[in-house]
Amino acid sequence: MTALGKVGRQGKRIGVFLLGTLVVLAGIALLALPGPGVVVIIVGLLILATEFDWAQRLLDIVVERAADAVRKLQESKGGRIMLALSGVVLIAAGIVVIVVFPSFIVAGISLIIAGVIGLATLHPRVQQWIDDKALSGTNQVDDVPSRG
């Protein structure tokens, strides 16, 4: 590899690191703010995983744990009802925010996206995908040590 190729490769790695880290930090902020924080964190880890093995391992762990939490919530009728209600409430709140506070359109859109994601988890195909990911993450290997 030429010196110019090495510089370009390192530049790409730095760019991926900065972008991925920024998206992960935005996801962490969305955990406390209205929005799909866990989904944004996973997207940030997906970006980082294109260049870094440690990010792929962390992504697998996060996906497995998030999917397992959703799976456990979906196991009970009450959990499914709460998912449906929270999805509808988030979508309605997002619409209200956009209509009443147009300058907060990003927050309103984030609420709507979070509500749609919550409702989507109730679809049988999505539930099957979640069950699969709860067992194997993104790499078909159980990376999360059992708590037993």
- Residue 110 in any domain: the answer is yes
Over the chain, what is the mean pLDDT?
Answer: 83
Residue 80 is predicted with a pLDDT of 85
What is the reported pTM? 0.61
Residue 114 is predicted with a pLDDT of 82
Residue 55 is predicted with a pLDDT of 92
- The DSSP result for the chain, as a single string, is --HHHHHHHHHHHHHHHHHHHHHHHHHHHHHHSSS-HHHHHHHHHHHHHTT-HHHHHHHHHHHHHHHHHHHHHHTSHHHHHHHHHHHHHHHHHHHHHHHH-GGGHHHHHHHHHHHHHHHHTTSHHHHHHHHHHHHHTTTTS--SPP--
pLDDT of 98-128, one tens digit each? 999 999 898 888 888 888 888 888 888 888 8
Beta-carbon contacts of 11 under 8 Å, excluding residues fewer than 6 positions away, are none
Beta-carbon contacts of 77 under 8 Å, excluding residues fewer than 6 positions away, are none
Residue 36 is predicted with a pLDDT of 72
List, for the chain, all residue ranges whose pLDDT scores fall below the cut of 70: 1, 4, 34-35, 136-148
Residue 141 is predicted with a pLDDT of 57
- Residue 94 in any domain: the answer is yes
Residue in the structure block whose two tokens are 């730095």? 14
Residue 79 is predicted with a pLDDT of 84
How far, in Å, CA of 35 to CA of 111, rounded?
5
- Residue 83 in any domain: the answer is yes
- Residue 82 in any domain: the answer is yes
Residue 32 is predicted with a pLDDT of 79
- Residue 106 in any domain: the answer is yes
- Residue 141 in any domain: the answer is no
How far, in Å, CA of 89 to CA of 111, rounded?
9
- Residue 121 in any domain: the answer is yes
Counting the structural domains of the chain, the total is: 1
Structural domain containing residue 62: 3-136
- Residue 78 in any domain: the answer is yes
Q: How many CA atoms lie within 13 A of 59 on its CB side?
A: 23
Residue 37 is predicted with a pLDDT of 79
